[in-house]
Chains A and B, each alone.
Chain A
Amino acid sequence: MLAYVGRRLLSLAVTLAIASAIVFTVMEILPGDPAEVMLGTNARPDTLAALRAQYGLDRPAPERYLAWAGGLLQGDMGLSYTYSVPVTQLVAERMWVSLPLALIALTLTTLIAIPVGALAAAKRNSATDVGVMTATQVGIAVPNFWFAMLLVLVFAITLRWLPAGGFPGWKAGAWPALKALVLPAVALALPQASILARVMRSSLLDTLGEDYVRTARAKGLTRAQTVRRHALRNALIPVLTIMGLQFSFLLAGTIIIENVFFLPGLGRLVFQAITQRDLIVVKSVVMLLVASVVVVNFLVEVGYAAVDPRLRRRV
């Protein structure tokens, strides 16, 4: 098991190194000179040169890559071109919105999808099953920003239970902050939960057709006991794969949802940074998103090994 985790960690490090090189290269190729954006198009050439020298933009690309990557490793993301504050500081503030948002959405996704999918599978072809299949079909088809607006109309404007947007900050207390995240998290989670519930349903149905389920019934387990003790854990293996993939969708989804709800999160930061050609912020935030996806997938793989003994010995 330890050797397995070690190998996975090694591949995680290699993935991050490759991803950082790609992110850096893409940013290099993109047109737009940050110095020109900052000073305007009629700035004098010597002022531009001085600014480039100040941010180290005049040095060769490999050297800048190493400086950037080395900085990332030490938690230093450089200075924002537009705000002239450390990127780390910008990111840290917004992380506390986006990360809880994504985690709440992921938790909601799982909490909705697994019981609903399992129920549909256990009551196959019943009214419950048909209802779940129809509801999830709608959930997948409806885009999350439209769904977000619907939620605002109902829960914020009509019922006035929850705020329609904005974020009071965690200093205002945990409860108001959480309240501000509920609607965005639900909007993010429902389409993903619909997908995951269907995966869970078909996975459990496949598992229920396996020989060892029949063996368990022959031992004297009831149908419910068989599902709980033998089928469920086996059915979770494919579900785990999809969950890992969904996390990146959730992160990408925050870019849209944070704009709909006016949340000062990473998604909004990266959106603004792109329009302002604040490439150092874009680079660093994209890298951060890549890193979180890679780390989540690493956790999924360790989760596999925890669930499935057959994987522990393999490469």
Chain B
Amino acid sequence: MALLDIRNLDLNIYGVPVLRGVSLSIAAGETLGLVGESGSGKSMTALATMQLLPRGASARGSIRLDGEELIGRDERAMCALRGRDISMVFQEPMTALNPLKTVGAQVSEVFRLHLGAPRAECDAWASQVLERVGLPPARYAPDRYPHELSGGQRQRVVIAMAVALKPKLLIADEPTTALDVTTQAQILTLMRALVAEDGASLLLITHDLAVVAETADRVAVMRRGEVVEEGETAAFFGGMTHPYSRALLEASTHVPQRRPRVAPGTVPGTAPAAREGGPILVADGVVREYRGRRAGWFRPAGCHRAVDAVTLSVAPGESVGLVGESGCGKSTLARTLLALEAPQGGRILFRGRDVSSLDAAGIARLRRDVQVVFQDPYGSFDPRHKAGRLVAEPLHLLRGEIDAAERDRRIARVLSDVGLRPEDAEKYPHEFSGGQRQRLAIARALITRPALIVLDEPVSALDVSIRAQVLDLLAELQARHALAYLFISHDLAVVRAITDRVLVMRAGIIVEQGPTAAVLDAPQHDYTRTLVAASPDLARALAERRTRAMPAANGRSADAAVPSA
């Protein structure tokens, strides 16, 4: 008998259907990967199982845990069940813990609540659980507060609370989406180990097919509130029947068609595509430091070196990737390159001239030639302005070079360039979807006809299929306008797809650089190797699965790169 059995689950929120006839089951000790785009109903299925639905929600159908119906169960009984038989790990570790309580107390609370044991005993158990999730009390005192821990450590604390009482079912809703690749790999390994030790079932919700291929026994795909396909993992990847599953797979392994460029990694200045000869932007030994907190009233403040003697250059038409974990100094370097912040050491050269020596006109020239696109464009759009006005914003840099008619022509042109319609200029930002807003941000960057666009995690917040579309758009725009990109990302798959050359950054230092394929296929530096190994990779995960189990997964294989074992 299945441990969790969801049958014909319908869910409405204020009358709006969110889930339609969802049926899923998880056997004891089994891991089910639940994939789908945002808004497909994955999280609502999890919250329905926890009976922690938002206001206005009404569920019909059946959710049975160990044969017992959960829908309509009395709230008292559900409270006794949550945290003991079913527990949940959420996406955002930074905000999932109460900032005013020590992590030890928050873990201990689970024991106190469900077992009613004395505080000292519960605290001792809490220490044991923290040790189990890789936070040994000797090194990570349980009387620390959440803000004293990193994102990965906080997620370990959340996991500690979830597994404290060895629940039968653990639900993990995008548990690693907010984390760096190396941390993600550690957390996934930890969860797999814990679930295996306790013989628990795991419902793993994710949008990342590679993570599912690594972890899940079975996969279910959701779309618009319905389960469209379900199957054993190897068989699922071997013979997807539903077109949506195939589209999802195609999108997540998508490599945009890029017109071959002049030999990637060409020495700057010799690129034939160069419009004005030399590189557009050069960083020469750039150093960025932040003053730290003063240790005492009379002791000087220490310094934190966010960017340490970084040298790089971007030639016209070239696509350069910059990868590294959060906090490694990528974005600080980007701000310095955009001349938004002055470096403490080294120089930034824009078309051969030192940026610090530029006058106002020179800076304006730099701003129109070097544009930027950020991860979350919504925050950078004034919600009261129409798209046309937002997109036209950078035109003030042209200082009256163009008249109103030309301005309107340009707005229409960039909108159609990014796959929107010229009529969309009359819409407000909230009328666009997330992917369309990112297109809008790209249009805004294009309107001054720049030579270089700095893209800071431009697709990280997007669903896989939208991400594939935006990557296609970027590749096409690059070919059409001979654009250069500086592409900042923590996602190696994306960097591989869109860049010619890559720089790997760690703690402010460039540790390795070279042609993208060469660096990612045969990393030389230890850190690059760690990054590559930690990055979820569908082909590799499936190959490992095959060598592990030698299943009967014949037929069309999802990976062409790795020969069958």
Which residues of the partner chain A approach B90 to less than 8 Å between Cβ atoms? 211, 214-215, 218
CA distance A315 to B294 in the complex (A): 9
Question: Do A234 and B80 touch (CB < 8 A)?
Answer: no
CA distance A220 to B85 in the complex (A): 10
In the complex, A123 has a CB within 8 A of chain B:
no
In the complex, B222 has a CB within 8 A of chain A:
no
Question: Do B95 and A218 touch (CB < 8 A)?
Answer: no
In the complex, B99 has a CB within 8 A of chain A:
yes
In the complex, identify which listed stretch (B108-116, B224-232, B306-314) lies at the interface while the others stay far away.
B108-116
Chain B 77-98 residues near chain A, CB threshold 8 A: 79-84, 87-88, 90, 92, 95-98
Which residues of the partner chain A approach B96 to less than 8 Å between Cβ atoms? 211-212, 214-215
Question: Do B88 and A212 touch (CB < 8 A)?
Answer: no
Which residues of the partner chain B approach A309 to less than 8 Å between Cβ atoms? 99-100, 145, 147
In the complex, A241 has a CB within 8 A of chain B:
no
Question: Do A229 and B293 touch (CB < 8 A)?
Answer: no
Which residues of the partner chain B approach A229 to less than 8 Å between Cβ atoms? 109
Question: Do A230 and B147 touch (CB < 8 A)?
Answer: no
A217-B82, A219-B109, A219-B110 as given contacts; A234 in contact with B98, CB under 8 Å: yes
Chain A 277-313 residues near chain B, CB threshold 8 A: 307-310, 313
| Min distance, Cβ A192 to any Cβ of chain B, angstroms | 26
Which residues of the partner chain A approach B95 to less than 8 Å between Cβ atoms? 210-212
Which residues of the partner chain A approach B322 to less than 8 Å between Cβ atoms? none
Which residues of the partner chain B approach A310 to less than 8 Å between Cβ atoms? 99, 145, 147
**Interface size on B (CB < 8 Å)?**
31
Which residues of the partner chain A approach B88 to less than 8 Å between Cβ atoms? 218
Which residues of the partner chain A approach B470 to less than 8 Å between Cβ atoms? none
In the complex, A112 has a CB within 8 A of chain B:
no
CA distance A233 to B81 in the complex (A): 26
**Interface size on A (CB < 8 Å)?**
23
Closest residue to B87 on the A side, CB-wise? A218
CA distance A211 to B80 in the complex (A): 21
Which residues of the partner chain B approach A233 to less than 8 Å between Cβ atoms? 100
Of A216, A220, A229, A234, the most chain B CB neighbours within 10 A belong to A220
In the complex, A89 has a CB within 8 A of chain B:
no
In the complex, A61 has a CB within 8 A of chain B:
no
Question: Do A234 and B99 touch (CB < 8 A)?
Answer: yes
| Min distance, Cβ A232 to any Cβ of chain B, angstroms | 10
Known A220-B110, A221-B113; further 7 A-B contacts with Cβ < 8 A: A211-B90, A217-B52, A218-B162, A219-B161, A220-B80, A220-B113, A234-B98
- CB-defined A-B contacts under 8 Å, sample of 27: A211-B95, A212-B96, A212-B99, A214-B96, A215-B96, A215-B97, A215-B98, A216-B98, A217-B82, A218-B82, A218-B88, A218-B90, A218-B162, A219-B83, A219-B87, A219-B110, A219-B113, A219-B161, A220-B84, A220-B110, A220-B113, A221-B79, A221-B109, A229-B109, A234-B98, A308-B99, A315-B293
